[in-house]
């Protein structure tokens, strides 16, 4: 978690992945643990909104950092679902879940889950909710990745590519939940590192991974600091207002 008074330096981080053995493992008594990085956006925020890039190409310059969201998935002997995040839910069916992202992702994969066996799902992050680092999308990417790895471990599904992870996360947030958000957070989290991402009116997304020389990367990391102010807010309200302004202008 970022300190409340002293700033933490931001370091470029890798993409979403399963944790290595020793701390967490892709397969450890059937437990899956994923670590998905958060991000900072340097340029182009707002051009990843569908209402913008449907009319003209959008582009963003973003980078993941060394703060992350962690998700675990584990088989449950009881035929229900136990979710642990800032709250705890225990429900007999997916439709009863209050958490929208959990509910949407599980509904999409429900036919592949073991019949008569529930799941334990747990999520925690290095920073508080509402800090503007793309946490919701990182969580969505990490949850999909963990669930796919869980199904793959059972021999039912292959793992997703970064493109598929990002696209599935976008479907969850933008289509299923109708969140007024853009697409950069999902792609940044799934690919990791520093990226230049273009969004075309056709709906296609092009991701260009930027490889910085070691000295340039070191200077960047030394020049960027993040401070937790103690203020948290939902990005949905801000982005909804931005989306409405785009519609008004056009």
Task: Compute the distance between CA of residue 142 and CA of residue 136 in angstroms, rounded to an integer.
Answer: 10
Measured between alpha carbons, how far is 206 from 184 in angstroms, rounded to an integer? Answer: 11
Q: Which residues on neighbouring strands pair with residue 199, listed in sequence order?
A: 58, 205
Q: pLDDT tens string for the chain (250 positions)?
A: 222 223 455 565 666 665 533 333 334 347 899 999 999 999 999 999 999 999 999 999 999 999 999 999 998 888 899 999 999 999 998 999 999 999 999 998 877 776 667 899 999 999 998 889 999 999 999 999 999 988 876 666 667 899 999 999 999 999 999 999 999 999 999 999 999 999 999 999 999 999 989 999 999 989 988 888 888 877 766 666 766 766 666 6
Domain residues of the chain, as ranges? 8-249
Q: Going by CATH, does the domain composed of 8-249 fall within 3.40.50.2300?
A: no
Contacts 24+ apart (CB under 8 A), 155-160: 156/112, 157/112
């Amino acid at each position: 978690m970022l300190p409340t008074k002293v700033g933490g330096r931001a370091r470029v981080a890798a993409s979403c992945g399963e944790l290595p053995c020793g701390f967490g493992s892709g397969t450890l008594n059937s437990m899956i643990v994923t670590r998905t990085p958060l991000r900072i956006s340097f340029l182009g925020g707002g051009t990843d909104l569908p209402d913008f890039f449907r009319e003209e190409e959008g582009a963003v310059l973003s980078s993941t950092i060394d703060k992350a969201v962690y998700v675990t998935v584990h088989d449950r002997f009881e035929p229900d679902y136990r979710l642990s995040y800032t709250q705890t839910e225990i429900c007999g069916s997916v439709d009863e879940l209050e958490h929208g992202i959990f509910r949407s992702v599980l509904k999409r994969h429900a036919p592949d889950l073991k019949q008569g066996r529930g799941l334990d799902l747990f999520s925690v992050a290095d920073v508080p909710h509402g800090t503007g680092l793309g946490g919701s999308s990182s969580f969505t990417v990490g949850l999909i990745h963990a669930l796919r790895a869980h199904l793959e471990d059972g021999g039912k599904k292959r793992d997703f590519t970064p493109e598929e992870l990002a696209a599935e996360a976008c479907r969850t947030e933008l289509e299923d939940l109708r969140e007024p958000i853009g697409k950069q957070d999902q792609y940044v989290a799934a690919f990791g590192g520093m990226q230049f991402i273009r969004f075309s009116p056709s709906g296609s997304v092009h991701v260009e991974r930027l490889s910085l020389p070691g000295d340039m990367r070191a200077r960047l990391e030394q020049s960027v600091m993040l401070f937790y102010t103690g203020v948290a807010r939902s990005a949905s309200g801000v982005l909804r207002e931005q989306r409405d302004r785009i519609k008004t202008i056009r």
